[in-house]
Amino acid sequence: MVQADTDSQSGTPQSRRRLPAFAHRIKAATAAFADFLVPPACLACREPVAGHDTICATCWSTVSFIRPPLCDRLGIPMPFDTGEATMISARAAAHPPPYDRARAAAAFDGVVREMILQFKYGDTHNARKLFGRWLASAGADLIREADVIVPVPMHRGRLLARRFNQSAILARELSRVSSKRYAPSLIIRQRATTSQVGLSAQQRRRNLAGAFATPPRRHTSIKGRNVLLIDDVITTGTTLNACTRTLRRAGAARIDCLAIAMVTDDSAVTL
């Protein structure tokens, strides 16, 4: 009887110990061949970079990442840290949002704006993994407390025309990296609306009146849950407000909102 070679200390067959190293070499060789066929390029400017799913140092340096100190409710930058556990901006104090908290990874300008417009209208989703990492970083506290991740829904007519919901792509990617449950059917867009582009805040509210609903059969999945709403850009907050009120009526305990980008200057609302 032939006895397999074993590690003298652990007793583990050497062939079994060799397998992970062999698999790693195969994976590395496959990745190198893929890079040869499709060299990694910056997702924004297409300049060569060291790895896939990222942007170059030049583009990265132009991104206006939103960092603390932040308004706890709206997620907008604060001029200074007050030292308090919870900081509320003047805007949030004057007009409290219906949701509990909002966060975004970056300001909606420059490179980020161009990448999101390409992601949303250009049917190019190469930035999905990068955006997923940005969402996970910007919304770490929100994700930790969330029970379900829910995308802002798209009306089925527009979904058929566009063939994808960018918010759903982001929510699914965030679910993958965070291991939180992805629940796209908890809220639906029951009424088609005109495009929000170019509308004032008041026009946006009228446009979305009665647009969202929660299917009655889903109420048990919503009641008492902490919901994390995902969108691509927070502009006036009108869409998130409408979704939040709909989920509140269905019994959601907490509703937080997370997006790739946020319009921090009201005069820049162009999406």
Tens digit of pLDDT for each residue in 164-179?
999 999 999 999 999 9
Please tell me the distance from the alpha carbon of residue 197 to that of residue 191, in angstroms, as a whole number.
Answer: 17
| 266: pLDDT strictly greater than 60 | no
The dihedral through the CA atoms of 199, 107, 147, 95 has a sign that is negative
Q: What pTM was estimated for this model as a whole?
A: 0.83
Helices then strands, each counted (H, E), the chain = 11, 7
Average pLDDT value for residue range 123-135: 94
Of the two residues 194 and 140, the one the predictor is more confident about is 140
The pLDDT of 176-204, averaged and rounded, is 84
Residue span(s) of the chain under CATH 3.40.50.2020 come to 65-268
By the 10 Å C-beta count (0-12 exposed, 13-18 middle, 19+ buried), 66 is classed as middle
What is the Cα 43 distance to its own chain's centre?
A: 17
Per-residue confidence band for 136, with pLDDT thresholds at 50, 70 and 90: very high
- Percent of the chain whose predicted confidence (pLDDT) is above 90: 67
Per-residue pLDDT tens over the stretch 44-100: 999 999 999 999 999 999 999 999 999 999 999 999 998 888 899 999 999 999 999
Residue with token string 């088609």: 192
Computed over every residue of the chain, the mean pLDDT equals 86
Q: What is the pLDDT confidence band of residue 220, given thresholds at 50, 70 and 90?
A: very high
Q: For domain 65-268, which architecture applies?
A: 3-Layer(aba) Sandwich (3.40)
